Structure 1
Amino acid sequence: MKVNLFSCVMSAILLFASSAMASNLVEVNDTISTKKSEGSERNVMLNASDANKPREIQIGLPSEDVNVYENGLPAVYSSAVHKLSTHWRSDASLGEVGLMNPSESAITTGNIAYSVNAFSKLGQKEFKGVLNYHTNHFGWQNVDMNVSGGIGDRWLYTAGIYQNFDPGSFAPKFENFSDRTQLYHAGLTRLFNNNRGKFSVIYKFSKSSALGSMINAAPFIYVGDGSVKEIPGFKLGTSSYAPEGGRFQYMDVMDGKMKSGRFGDFTDNKAHEVAMLFDYTFRNNLNWTLNAKFMNAPEANYVDFGGSNISEVTVADGLFMDGSKDAYTGLVEGRRTWLHFGKVKNVLLTSELKKKVGNHDMRLGLNEWYYHLDYHSSSFQWIGTVTEYPQILDRREADGSTDKFRGFNELSPEYTKGYENKLAAYFTDNWQISPKFNVYYGARLEYYRMSADQIPYGRYAGFHIGDTHQYTDNEGNVLSTEKIEPHKVVKDKLNYAATAQFTYKITKNFGLTADGTIATRFPRINEYAGTGPTEEQYKRVTIPLLRGGLFYQNNWMNLTSMITYISKSNNIDQQNVTKPGTTQSKTTLLIYDIKTLGWTTSAEINPFKGFHLHALFTYQKPTYNNYFIKSPFEGVPDLNANGNIVKEIPQVLAEIDPSYNITPDLRVWLSFRYFGKTYANLTNALYFNGRWETFGGVNWKVNKHLSLGATVVNFLNQKGASGTINGAELLSKEEAGKFKDHYMSGNYLRPLTLEFSASLSF
Structure 2
Amino acid sequence: MKLNYFKFFTLLPLVLGAKSVLAQEENLSSKDSIQIQQELKDSDLKEEGSDRNVMLNAANNSGPRDVNIGLPATVGGITILENDLPVVYFYWPELPNKTWRQSVGLKNTGLLKMEDLATTMGDLGFAVNSYTQNGTKEFQGKLNLTGSHFGWFQGDVNVSGPISDNGWTYSAGVFVNFDPSTYDLGFNNYVDQTKIFRVGLTKYFKEDKGEFNVYYKYADSYVNTNYAVFEYGPNGEANEIDGFEIGNDSYIVRDGRMRFRDIRNGEYYFGELDGAANTNTSHNVDIFGNYKLDNGWNFKYSTRLHLAKASLLYGIPLSIFEAGAQDGYTIASTGEAYTGRVGTQLGLSTPEIPVTSVMGRFSINKQLDNHNVTLGILEQYYHIDKYVSNRSLYFQTVENQPQRLIGPNTDEYGFYGYNTSAEYFNGTENKLAVYANDTWKVSDKLNVKAGLMLRHHLIDGDFTRTPRSEGFTLADAELTDIDESYFHVAGNLNASYNITKNFGVLGNFLYTEENGRLENFSTAIDPSVVKSRSPLAGLGVFWNTDYFSLVSQATYLTKNNYLTRYNLVNPADNTESQQTSVFYNIQTLGWTTDMMITPFKGFNLHYLITLQDPVYKDFTFDAFGENYDYSDKTVLEISNVLMEIDPSYTYKDWRIWASFRYFSKQYANINNALFFAPRWENFGGVNYKYNDHISFGATVVNFLNQTGAKGTINGAELINDASQFYGSTLSGSYIRPFTVQASVNINF
Q: Which amino acid aligns with 1:207?
A: D
Is 1:218–1:747's contact at 8 Å kept on the other side of the alignment? yes
Rounded to whole Å, the distance in 1 between the matches of 2:632 and 2:227 is 29
Tell me which residue corresponds to 1:489: 482
- How many angstroms does 1:27 deviate by? 8.2
Instruction: Map 1:338-487 to 2 at 5 A.
Output: 338-341=348-351, 342-374=353-385, 375-395=387-407, 402=412, 404-410=414-420, 412-467=421-476, 484-487=477-480
Rounded to whole Å, the distance in 2 between the matches of 1:11 and 1:340 is 40
Q: Structure 1 pair 192/323, CA: closer, same or farther in 2 (3 Å)?
A: closer
Is 2:580–2:623's contact at 8 Å kept on the other side of the alignment? no
Is 1:333–1:384's contact at 8 Å kept on the other side of the alignment? yes
Q: Which amino acid aligns with 2:610?
A: T
Q: Do structure 1's residue 79 and structure 2's residue 91 form an aligned pair?
A: yes
Q: Do structure 1's residue 597 and structure 2's residue 589 form an aligned pair?
A: yes
Q: Structure 1 pair 204/25, CA: closer, same or farther in 2 (3 Å)?
A: farther
Is 1:10–1:39's contact at 8 Å kept on the other side of the alignment? no
Tell me which residue corresponds to 2:632: 643
Q: 2:264 aligns with which of 251, 254, 262?
A: 254
Q: Which amino acid aligns with 1:271?
A: S
Rounded to whole Å, the distance in 1 between the matches of 2:27 and 2:605 is 14
- Matched residue of 1:103: which SS? helix
- How many angstroms does 1:10 deviate by? 5.3
TM-align CA RMSD: 2.2
- Matched residue of 1:301: which SS? strand
- How many angstroms does 1:227 deviate by? 0.8
Q: Which amino acid aligns with 1:307?
A: P
Q: 2:531 aligns with which of 513, 537, 540?
A: 540
What TM-score comes out, normalization by structure 2 length?
0.93
Rounded to whole Å, the distance in 1 between the matches of 2:509 and 2:17 is 16
- How many angstroms does 1:583 deviate by? 2.0
Tell me which residue corresponds to 1:199: 212
Q: Which amino acid aligns with 1:236?
A: I
Q: Do structure 1's residue 521 and structure 2's residue 518 form an aligned pair?
A: no
- Matched residue of 2:101: which SS? coil
Tell me which residue corresponds to 1:745: 731
Query: Percent identity between the aligned chains?
Result: 37
Deviations 1:353-406 (CA, angstroms, capped at 9, x unpaired)? 100011100100110011111211101111111111111111268xx9835111
Aligned length: 722
- How many angstroms does 1:232 deviate by? 0.3
- Matched residue of 1:583: which SS? strand
Q: Which amino acid aligns with 2:739?
A: T
Is 1:256–1:464's contact at 8 Å kept on the other side of the alignment? yes
Q: 2:314 aligns with which of 281, 304, 309?
A: 304
- How many angstroms does 1:284 deviate by? 3.5
Rounded to whole Å, the distance in 1 between the matches of 2:411 and 2:357 is 48
Q: Structure 1 pair 2/396, CA: closer, same or farther in 2 (3 Å)?
A: closer
Rounded to whole Å, the distance in 1 between the matches of 2:672 and 2:447 is 43
Rounded to whole Å, the distance in 1 between the matches of 2:235 and 2:739 is 28
Deviations 1:524-559 (CA, angstroms, capped at 9, x unpaired)? 11222223534xx32001111111101001233110
Q: Do structure 1's residue 184 and structure 2's residue 197 form an aligned pair?
A: yes
- How many angstroms does 1:218 deviate by? 1.3
Tell me which residue corresponds to 1:679: 667
Rounded to whole Å, the distance in 2 between the matches of 1:370 and 1:639 is 39
- How many angstroms does 1:51 deviate by? 1.0
- How many angstroms does 1:151 deviate by? 2.3
Rounded to whole Å, the distance in 2 between the matches of 1:162 and 1:709 is 19
Q: Which amino acid aligns with 1:709?
A: G
- Matched residue of 1:552: which SS? strand
Is 1:33–1:503's contact at 8 Å kept on the other side of the alignment? no
Deviations 1:196-243 (CA, angstroms, capped at 9, x unpaired)? 12111011011111113xxx2111000121111001011000011112
Q: Structure 1 pair 358/236, CA: closer, same or farther in 2 (3 Å)?
A: same
- How many angstroms does 1:7 deviate by? 2.4
- How many angstroms does 1:323 deviate by? 6.0
Instruction: Map 1:203-282 to 2 at 5 A.
Output: 203-212=216-225, 216-265=226-275, 266-282=277-293
Is 1:269–1:300's contact at 8 Å kept on the other side of the alignment? yes
Deviations 1:167-222 (CA, angstroms, capped at 9, x unpaired)? 1112212122101100000110112242312111011011111113xxx2111000
- How many angstroms does 1:256 deviate by? 2.1
- How many angstroms does 1:330 deviate by? 0.7
Deviations 1:294-339 (CA, angstroms, capped at 9, x unpaired)? 0100x21122321222111111111111465653111111111101
Q: 1:568 aligns with which of 559, 564, 573?
A: 559
Tell me which residue corresponds to 2:22: none
Q: Do structure 1's residue 549 and structure 2's residue 540 form an aligned pair?
A: yes
Rounded to whole Å, the distance in 2 between the matches of 1:148 and 1:28 is 32
Is 1:362–1:429's contact at 8 Å kept on the other side of the alignment? yes
- How many angstroms does 1:8 deviate by? 2.0
Range with bigger deviation, 60-69 or 352-361: 60-69
- How many angstroms does 1:443 deviate by? 0.4
- How many angstroms does 1:39 deviate by? 9.5
Tell me which residue corresponds to 1:20: none
Q: Do structure 1's residue 142 and structure 2's residue 163 form an aligned pair?
A: no
Is 1:503–1:514's contact at 8 Å kept on the other side of the alignment? yes
- Matched residue of 2:338: which SS? coil
Q: 2:145 aligns with which of 127, 130, 133?
A: 133
Q: Which amino acid aligns with 2:323?
A: V
Q: Structure 1 pair 109/281, CA: closer, same or farther in 2 (3 Å)?
A: same
Rounded to whole Å, the distance in 1 between the matches of 2:181 and 2:107 is 28
Range with bigger deviation, 259-268 or 490-499: 259-268
Gap runs ≥5 in structure 1: 14-22, 468-483
Deviations 1:729-757 (CA, angstroms, capped at 9, x unpaired)? 1111xx22111111111111111100000
Rounded to whole Å, the distance in 2 between the matches of 1:325 and 1:32 is 63
Is 2:558–2:585's contact at 8 Å kept on the other side of the alignment? yes
Q: Structure 1 pair 310/408, CA: closer, same or farther in 2 (3 Å)?
A: same
Tell me which residue corresponds to 1:701: 689
Q: Do structure 1's residue 506 and structure 2's residue 499 form an aligned pair?
A: yes
Rounded to whole Å, the distance in 2 between the matches of 1:42 and 1:137 is 20
Deviations 1:245-294 (CA, angstroms, capped at 9, x unpaired)? 12232111212221223222311111111000130112343101011010
Rounded to whole Å, the distance in 2 between the matches of 1:27 and 1:329 is 50
What TM-score comes out, normalization by structure 1 length?
0.91
